[in-house]
Structure 1
Amino acid sequence: MDTRNTDGNSVRDVIVIGAGQAGGPLASALASSGRRVTVIEQAHVGGTCVNEGCTPTKTMIASARVAYLARRSQDYGVHTGEVSVDFAQVQRRKDQVVEQFRSGSTDSLTSSGAELLMGRARFTGPRQIQVTLADGRQQDLQAPLVILNTGARPTWPDLPGLREVGALDSTSLLALKELPEHLVILGGGYIGLEFGQAFARFGSRVTVIEHGPRLAAREDPDVAEALQQALEQDGVTFMLETQALRAQRTDAGVELVVQGKDGEQTLRGSHLLVAAGRTPNTDDMGLAEAGIEVNDHGYIVVDGHLQTTAEGVYALGDVKGGPAFTHISYDDYRILRDALLHGKVRSTSDRPVPYTVFTDPQLARVGLSETEARKQNRPVRIYTLPMARVARAIETDETRGLMKAVVDDHTDQLLGATVLGLDGGEVLSVLEVAMMGGVTATQLREGVFSHPTLSESLNNLFMGTPVKVQPESTPA
């Protein structure tokens, strides 16, 4: 039964705006508990991860890796014919996987009893929402509990000519029908690196423009250098400390004028990808009308329990800023679910934040890096092991990269780890579980792991001679 208040608004128990990896599961959980839940989604259920992020990109990266291994078959004593890539089939396979995941997310949501409205939501007052449906009709809703999970979108720099030249972002690139002859990528962050290596393996010429002095700025310099070397081996060209000035369209494609260490020059490519970060989807939502504050970058301000500055309104996932990872968004859901349904209080401040970049080799990290430990002036030991000394990596001829671990010199506890290597994300997960369980470096060194696995290399990592970092003394 549709209940209305004195203002004529339809009243719900919960309104969820955005059906991403936090909003969808939370709506399902609350609806299954008997609450009247309405979900408002502008584009598609599943959020960025399922539709434009993890699922499509990692599916394409898997195809690119097969092409890479096929070209390397002779290294393993296997002889094949000429390797070619059917890019249309790569895209069809990707689309099939996306549709499978999207349909599953939609079915899970609707089967819970939640109402799904496809349209755009805007606040008209505290916890009052006006929905403009896909057919143009409007519906006014109100609820004592509102959840925001609207995510983020690709950022477009204010660069002359950029939008006029038909440049692509990480979403529109996924819809390409033809393989780029020369893909120029503006931005050397994780998105640009994943796409750059994948398209190089598909057969495109790839040039990455990065304004900073090195790639992967949040990583230790030795890790970033090893990653760059691996991608260069796969055919990616990098131009560091280079600033894009303007873009223009030509009959042959796109021209990008850049300023670098060697002065101004013009790059010519068939396609231009903008990979310059993400912008939160908070504009034109009427947040001020609801008393919801955003920071200088447009991200919604929340406390450790995901509460916004407006009573009864919470924000989950990328829209609140912080680590923009699917697993963090999903954990946001669990934090709020447990608080609302089970009376369990947990904060976002006490959780680990692991991540994996799906380059090849994978780059995975959790906790402190060596650089961060040094900045904090902590007494630590740094253990490093090249993948070239890992038995499983040698056997599979996948020896690019290295492992690093940061260990407290007093307690022997693991404070952080980085794995750049074959299945680096899986090995990193073993180290994260060790951190969660308080397992010491000595216990990992003496642990019995099955041979020959990648995890067994943790014995060797902690058997090595560490670099000790001691706090600098403070003058009296």
Structure 2
Amino acid sequence: MNQQFDAVVVGAGQAGPSLAERLGKSGRKVAVIERKLVGGTCVNTGCIPTKAMVASAYVAKQARSAGNYGVNTGDVRVDMEAVWQRTQGISGQSRSSVEKWLAGMQNVSLLRGHAAFESPNTLRVGDTLIEAGEIFLNVGGRAVAPDFPGIDSVPYLTNTGILELRQLPRHLVIVGGSYIGLEFGQMFRRFGAEVTIVERSDRLLPKEDPDVSAAVVDILEKEGIKLHLAAECIELHGKAGEISVLAKCAKPGLEVHGTHLLLAVGRRPNTDALGLDKAGVNTNEHGYITVDDQCRTNVSGIWAMGECNGHGAFTHTAYNDYEIVAANVLDEEPRRISDRILAYALFIDPPLGRIGLTEQEALKKGHDVRVGVRPMTRVGRAVERGEALGFMKVIVDGKSEQLLGAAILGVNGDEAIHSLLDVMYAKARYQTVTHAVHIHPTVAELLPTVLQSLSPL
């Protein structure tokens, strides 16, 4: 059976449904093809369920420390079944909302199944051939299974499987000291599990400045999380409930025993089963689809958005890809990926908000680097809440007087950072912030003070 559409969107993640709606409203006949769950990683196994669990973990931590605020709560016990039910309910409601949204779209049909190219303008979904003049790929990615010895025999969890746990692990061992590993590590420690994190690099978050990494280490160790760094030559041993992680090249050699294992060592794009070779679409050595500044592939009429194009593994970058594609295809507005300023957050508690360049990156690019730093103990709002861990750091070019980047590791840092991000997009001088009058008492009110303390390196 053959079906013809004007446009096909493969994948109902963050970018897909939004683009489908715009295309449908333009008068195009549109198909959205989804092989599993609409909403993609964010709704089903990423942002929404994990941040729901982070919220539960935060409440557990606050309940245990309630006495510090003059509040007596008694014994605190975490019901993992209830945490799971709450998390699934929030994620399920979000997925249902996307399904209803798609069902109500003008000129848009949702087709279920796996899509693979037969030619540059033809996709096969089961026994059906679908032809379209425009094809937009939004297929996302998945966790990497590293080639550790023992990977085929030792049971392990990824960011997807750990969301299905309905009982608390006695000892969770995590291989990977970046965002996924740290967020799950802290939340399960707060739920009551013993947690050990094993990282192959010589520090956590190796892409951040060393002072940020060191502060995160301090936060996690204060909660009783064990950290092992520079753990190379990793091997896995054991069985369900009795796993071991060995790092033979660590000095001294490392062996960690636990009941559950989470592997958080990276992701790969879901492009290997798309039949991209039949369409002539280029990928790089890691399987990411090669695109230009407007998300166009090398094949006319085919675009790639979101994690699969290698230009960001975040919900917000995927949504921006949709905006870029829609602007160029529908609005004749030449928006570009290269206009985007790097911005993301690490949702441990307190969170890390990060934008632009790090101090080390700014130096390598030859900027006249000026840095301002203030501890969160200077933020009245943080002290009043009893959450004054972390610091603020801003990086400025001394010649242009423009912001280059910033990191706020502290309470509400993931929100306060946006006032600096907007100044960067406006290409305004940093004095725009120093001359602003911020509301007291807030976290963002310290940003003018931080910028008034700039000093050269």
TM-score grouping bracket, smaller chain normalisation: over 0.9
After superposition, what is the alpha-carbon deviation per residue over 1:159-212, rounded to whole angstroms, capped at 9, x for unaligned?
A: 122242220000010011211110000111111010000100100100011010
Q: Which residue of 1 aligns with 2:216?
A: 227
CA distance in structure 1 between the partners assigned to 2:223 and 2:25 by the alignment:
49
Note if 1:399 corresponds to 2:388.
Answer: yes
CA distance in structure 1 between the partners assigned to 2:290 and 2:418 by the alignment:
30
Q: Which residue of 2 aligns with 1:39?
A: 32
**Contact conserved, 1:209 with 1:243, CA < 8 A, in 2?**
no
Q: Which residue of 2 aligns with 1:5?
A: none
CA distance in structure 2 between the partners assigned to 1:80 and 1:468 by the alignment:
49
Note if 1:55 corresponds to 2:43.
Answer: no
Q: What letter is aligned with 1:117?
A: L
User: SS at the partner of 1:12?
Assistant: strand
Q: Which residue of 2 aligns with 1:116?
A: 110
Offset at residue 268 of structure 1 (A):
1.2
Offset at residue 252 of structure 1 (A):
4.2
Q: Which residue of 1 aligns with 2:455?
A: 467
Q: What letter is aligned with 2:413?
A: G
Aligned residues: 456
Map residues 1-80 of structure 1 onto 2, 5 A cutoff.
9-80=2-73
CA distance in structure 1 between the partners assigned to 2:234 and 2:405 by the alignment:
39
Q: Which residue of 2 aligns with 1:135?
A: none
Q: Which residue of 1 aligns with 2:431?
A: 442
Offset at residue 17 of structure 1 (A):
0.7
**Contact conserved, 1:173 with 1:273, CA < 8 A, in 2?**
yes
CA distance in structure 1 between the partners assigned to 2:234 and 2:200 by the alignment:
11
Q: Which residue of 2 aligns with 1:127?
A: 121
Q: Which residue of 2 aligns with 1:421?
A: 410
| Gap runs ≥5 in structure 2 | none
Offset at residue 380 of structure 1 (A):
2.2
Moved more, 406-415 or 310-319: 406-415
**Contact conserved, 1:25 with 1:109, CA < 8 A, in 2?**
no
Q: Which residue of 1 aligns with 2:338?
A: 349
After superposition, what is the alpha-carbon deviation per residue over 1:38-61, rounded to whole angstroms, capped at 9, x for unaligned?
A: 111111111100000000000000
Find runs of 4+ consecutive structure 1 residues off by over 4 angstroms: none
Map residues 272-283 of structure 1 onto 2, 5 A cutoff.
272-283=261-272
Q: What letter is aligned with 2:176?
A: G
Identity %: 42
Moved more, 81-90 or 453-462: 453-462
Note if 1:84 corresponds to 2:77.
Answer: yes
**Contact conserved, 1:391 with 1:457, CA < 8 A, in 2?**
no
CA distance in structure 2 between the partners assigned to 1:306 and 1:213 by the alignment:
35
Q: Which residue of 1 aligns with 2:227?
A: 238
Map residues 320-359 of structure 1 onto 2, 5 A cutoff.
320-359=309-348
Q: What letter is aligned with 1:58?
A: K
User: SS at the partner of 1:84?
Assistant: coil
Offset at residue 315 of structure 1 (A):
0.1
Query: Normalising by the residue count of structure 2, what TM-score does the alignment of the two structures yield?
Result: 0.97
**Contact conserved, 1:154 with 1:277, CA < 8 A, in 2?**
yes
Q: What letter is aligned with 1:15?
A: V
Q: Which residue of 2 aligns with 1:372?
A: 361
Moved more, 252-261 or 207-216: 252-261
**Contact conserved, 2:240 with 2:260, CA < 8 A, in 1?**
no
Q: Which residue of 2 aligns with 1:3?
A: none
Note if 1:363 corresponds to 2:363.
Answer: no
Moved more, 213-222 or 455-464: 455-464
CA distance in structure 1 between the partners assigned to 2:404 and 2:162 by the alignment:
38
CA distance in structure 1 between the partners assigned to 2:430 and 2:240 by the alignment:
59
Q: Which residue of 1 aligns with 2:444?
A: 455
CA distance in structure 1 between the partners assigned to 2:259 and 2:299 by the alignment:
48
Offset at residue 14 of structure 1 (A):
0.5
User: SS at the partner of 2:114?
Assistant: strand
Offset at residue 251 of structure 1 (A):
6.5
User: SS at the partner of 1:38?
Assistant: strand
CA distance in structure 1 between the partners assigned to 2:315 and 2:442 by the alignment:
28
CA distance in structure 2 between the partners assigned to 1:284 and 1:450 by the alignment:
52
Query: Normalising by the residue count of structure 1, what TM-score does the alignment of the two structures yield?
Result: 0.93
Q: Which residue of 1 aligns with 2:151?
A: 162
State which of 288, 304, 308 in structure 2 corresponds to 1:315: 304
